A and B are shown apart, each in its own frame.
Chain A
Amino acid sequence: MSNVFATLSTAGQSLGVFQDALTTVQNNISNSNTPGYASQSVNFVTQPLDLLSGLVGGVAAKGLHSARDEYAEEEVRRQLSTLGIYESQASATSTIASNFDPSGNTGVPAALNQLLNSFSAWSLDPNSDSTKQQVLGDASSLATTVHQLAASLTNNDQDLQGQIAGAVQQVNQLTSQIQQLNLAIGQTASPGQAPDPGLDAQLHSDLQQLSELVDFSQVFQPNGTVTVVLSGGSPLVVGDQQFALSANAAVPAGSANPGAPPTMSVLDSNGNNITSQITGGKLGGLLDVHNRVMASILGDGSQAGSLNLFAKSLADTVNGILQSGTVSVNAGAANGQALFTYDNTDATHAAASFAINSNLTTAGLAPVDSSGNANGNALKLASLANSITNGGVGGQTFAAYFGQIAQFVGNQNSTATTNQNTQQQIVTQAESLRDHASAVSLDAQAIQLQQFQKSYEATAKLITVLNSVTETTINMVQ
């Protein structure tokens, strides 16, 4: 009779276990679209059978097992972080590049070309009021385009500063959520059990979002909570403690150009500058574009910036030529006046303050050079179009130097966009590898791994050969 009871008890227990399994399957289906959710399965444990001791055997449920593969998750986050850099670089450099017309038919190159043509026309008729008027008009147009470009880039720069501050705020929001989740997971954790699937899903979803913003490493504690530190080592979340970051815009103290656009930095919760630790994610990309790309054009505490150098050199060259001569060949004729003005109190202000000398009239323009040649100065100015004998910048003509600025921006955008497209494919692949790794058992993974590694390496060897043959052929083709 006791055997009958034992059998009934075992059957009852088994039904309960399978009910648990069904509930778990139901949860998996319900959460199939929940961000960060990993499917769960019930761990079945066989029960000892010894009827004499009252042990009736059967199966029991011993906690839940998550299909999540933490290594694969980390790989996806790492690739997302790299994608974040390229996406933000591509977007920000695209905005900067939109200020430059690659055809050179509008903006500064066109206005500069127009002025140089006017100088040429003036050299043919140095005493003509109309050619002088043309020079003044075209100089004014060039000044306006340089000034407008500087103003537009300054707006972009300020917008970038706002985006950086916004990204830091998003990081803080996510790390605050992770800290709250750590607290909740810690409170509900039972030894040897997987954390609550819902909390775990939220935690992983937040970590994924965080990886799009910054590069970090994480360590999962046995109770399911996570410690998050920036790749450079500064903590973001440790247990139930959050370490908030802040964005700071300032020109470093003691800089050569105190009036320069500020350098953006990220500070840790103690106020230490940890900008160099942020090399990935959207924040890393934005910092790079602001502090490297934009600073090289508009300047910062330690450099004038290519656009300012262009404006200053152009003004100094043109003014120097005009002021070295006289307004006519007559004895006692007045010296020439400057055509352009700019604020020279700070090297980074040249382009934004670039303007035509408001006191100058056609009578103040000096076509005569210091040797008394009637059109000597006008010829020197006209020669700036294709020679650096009478002035240039960075060993190039003014037009070539400006073209180089535009090309630099275009190249930055092109590289970032290419990298973004490739990285998007790598992220998709990492997600697919993650899903694959999570869907198979560790045993199956170990078997497949050897097989796949051989295939990958064989493919890599073929790619190396193909690359080499292609490169050789490129060098052979004219």
Chain B
Amino acid sequence: MTAGAGLLAHIAQAEGHVRNARRSWDPTKSEGCEQCAEHLRKAVEFMLFARQAAAGGTALPGAKAQLTRLHHEVEVLSRLVDSAIAFSRGLALRLISEEPVHAELKG
């Protein structure tokens, strides 16, 4: 396999894992979060290979467009995860603020 073809193949693999990460992402289930993280780990691995292949300086038509598409997919997932983080932080604050009321109900 040429360096250029290798680059495209690595990007495609990474793209597939990012899509799977998006599909498995479920902030209400720990399995969903774990599967998503696993796919992302694999995507990082493939992107490290891709970066190595790109360092060879092979210019390949379509690689940039493919990378930009991948970047967008990562961006969408990033916004979803950030939103879940913001939600859980807000919820944690609310739980702290409602603690006295909660204790009273239980008492």
Enumerate B61-89 residues with CB–CB distance to A below 8 Å: 63-64, 67-68, 70-72, 74-85, 87-89
- Residue in contact with B33 in the complex, picked from A425, A432, A436, A452, CB distance below 8 Å: A452
- Contact check: which of A426, A436, A445 meets B95 at CB < 8 Å? A445
Asked whether, in the complex, the Cβ of B82 is within 8 Å of the Cβ of A445, the reply is no
A331 lies within 8 A of chain B by Cβ: no
Contact, CB under 8 Å: B91 / A71: yes
- Whether B40 lies near A449 (C-beta < 8 A) is no
> Which chain B residues (81-107) contact chain A, with CB distance < 8 Å?
81-85, 87-92, 94-95, 98, 102
List which B6-32 residues lie within 8 A (CB) of chain A.
7, 11, 14, 18, 25-28, 30
A459 at the interface (CB under 8 A from B): yes
Which residue of B has the minimal Cβ distance to A464?
B78
Q: Mark A62-96, 1 if CB is under 8 A from B, else 0.
A: 00000000011001000100000000000000000
In the complex, besides A426-B83, A459-B36, A477-B60, 17 extra interface pairs with C-beta distance below 8 angstroms are A72-B91, A422-B79, A429-B84, A437-B91, A456-B88, A457-B85, A459-B81, A460-B78, A460-B85, A462-B41, A463-B81, A470-B14, A470-B71, A473-B47, A473-B67, A474-B71, A478-B59
Chain A proximity of B62: nearest CB distance (Å): 10
Contact B94 A71 (CB under 8 A): yes
CA distance A142 to B4 in the complex (A): 48
The answer to whether B67 touches A458 (Cβ under 8 A) is no
Q: Across the interface, which residues of B come within 8 angstroms of A432, CB to CB?
A: 26-28
Contact of A456 among B71, B84, B98 (CB under 8 A): B84
A61 at the interface (CB under 8 A from B): no
Interface, chain A (partner B; CB < 8 A) = 71-72, 75, 79, 418, 421-422, 425-426, 429-430, 432-433, 435-437, 442, 445-446, 449, 451-453, 455-460, 462-463, 465-467, 469-474, 476-478
Contact in complex: A474, B51 (CB < 8 Å): no
List 16 contacting pairs A-B, 8 Å CB cutoff, sorted by A.
Answer: A71-B94, A422-B76, A429-B80, A437-B91, A452-B30, A452-B84, A458-B33, A462-B37, A462-B44, A466-B40, A466-B44, A470-B14, A470-B47, A471-B71, A472-B51, A473-B11
- A468 to B75 alpha-carbon distance, docked (Å): 11
- Partner of A463 from the list B55, B60, B74, B95 (CB cut-off 8 Å) is B74
Q: How far is the CB of B26 from chain A (nearest CB, A)?
A: 8
Residues of A within 8 A of B33 (CB): 452, 455-456, 458-459
Contacts of A472 in B (CB 8 A): 51
How far, in whole Å, are A477 and B80 apart by their CA atoms in the complex?
28
Identity of the chain B residue whose Cβ is nearest the Cβ of A70 in the assembled complex? B94
Q: Which of A425, A433, A467, A469 contacts B87 (CB 8 A)?
A: A433
Cβ 8 A contact of B59, one of A71, A467, A477: A477
Q: How far is the CA of A25 from the CA of B107 in the complex (A)?
A: 25
Tell me the minimal C-beta distance from A478 to chain B in angstroms.
4
Kindly state the separation between the CA atoms of A71 and B90 in the bound complex, as whole angstroms.
8
In the assembled complex, the CB of A196 is this many whole angstroms from the nearest CB of chain B, namely 21
- The residues of A that contact B59 with a CB separation of less than 8 Å are 477-478
Q: A452-B88, A462-B41, A463-B74 are in contact. Are A474 and B64 (CB under 8 A)?
A: yes
Given A469-B47, A473-B67: A456 touches B27 (CB 8 Å cut-off): yes
Contacts of A457 in B (CB 8 A): 85
A476 touches B54 (CB 8 A): yes
Q: In the complex, how many residues of chain B place their beta carbon closer than 8 angstroms to a beta carbon of chain A? A: 54
Contacts of B71 in A (CB 8 A): 467, 470-471, 474
- B18: shortest Cβ distance to chain A, in Å? 7
Question: Which chain B residues border A459 with CB–CB below 8 Å?
Answer: 25, 33, 36-37, 40, 81
Q: Which of A421, A435, A463 contacts B78 (CB 8 A)?
A: A463
Complex contact B80–A436 (CB within 8 A): no
> How distant is the Cα of A436 from the Cα of B32 in the complex, in angstroms?
14
User: Which of chain B's residues have a CB closer than 8 A to the CB of A462?
Assistant: 37, 40-41, 44
Contacting residues, chain B, for A471 (C-beta < 8 A): 71
Q: List A contacts of B14 (CB < 8 A).
A: 466, 470
Question: Nearest chain B CB to A291's CB is how many angstroms away?
Answer: 27
Question: Contacts A456-B85, A462-B41, A474-B71 hold; do A426 and B80 have CB atoms under 8 A apart?
Answer: yes
Most interface-central of A433, A469, A473 (chain B CB within 10 A): A473
Q: What are the residues of chain A within 8 A of B92 when measuring CB–CB?
A: 449, 453
Q: Which residues on A sit within 8 Å (CB–CB) of B78? A: 460, 463, 467
> How many angstroms between the C-alpha atoms of A449 and B37 in the bound complex?
18
Does B5 reach chain A (CB closer than 8 Å)?
A: no
Most chain A beta-carbon neighbours within 10 Å: one of B34, B67, B78, B81: B81
- Residues 37-52 of B at the A interface (beta carbon under 8 Å): 37, 40-41, 43-44, 47-48, 50-51
Residues of A within 8 A of B77 (CB): 463
**Which of these, B28, B70, B90, B102, contacts A470 with CB under 8 Å?**
B70
B30–A455 CB distance below 8 A = yes
Choose one: B44, B83, B94, B95; the contact of A469 (CB below 8 Å): B44
Q: For residue A422, which residue of chain B has the nearest CB?
A: B76
**Cα–Cα distance between A457 and B88 once the two chains are bound (Å):** 11
- Name A82's closest neighbour in chain B (CB-CB): B83
- Chain A residues, CB < 8 A from B80: 422, 425-426, 429
- In the complex with contacts A429-B80, A463-B74, A472-B51, A458-B37 CB distance below 8 A: yes
Bound: A451/B98 CA distance, A: 20
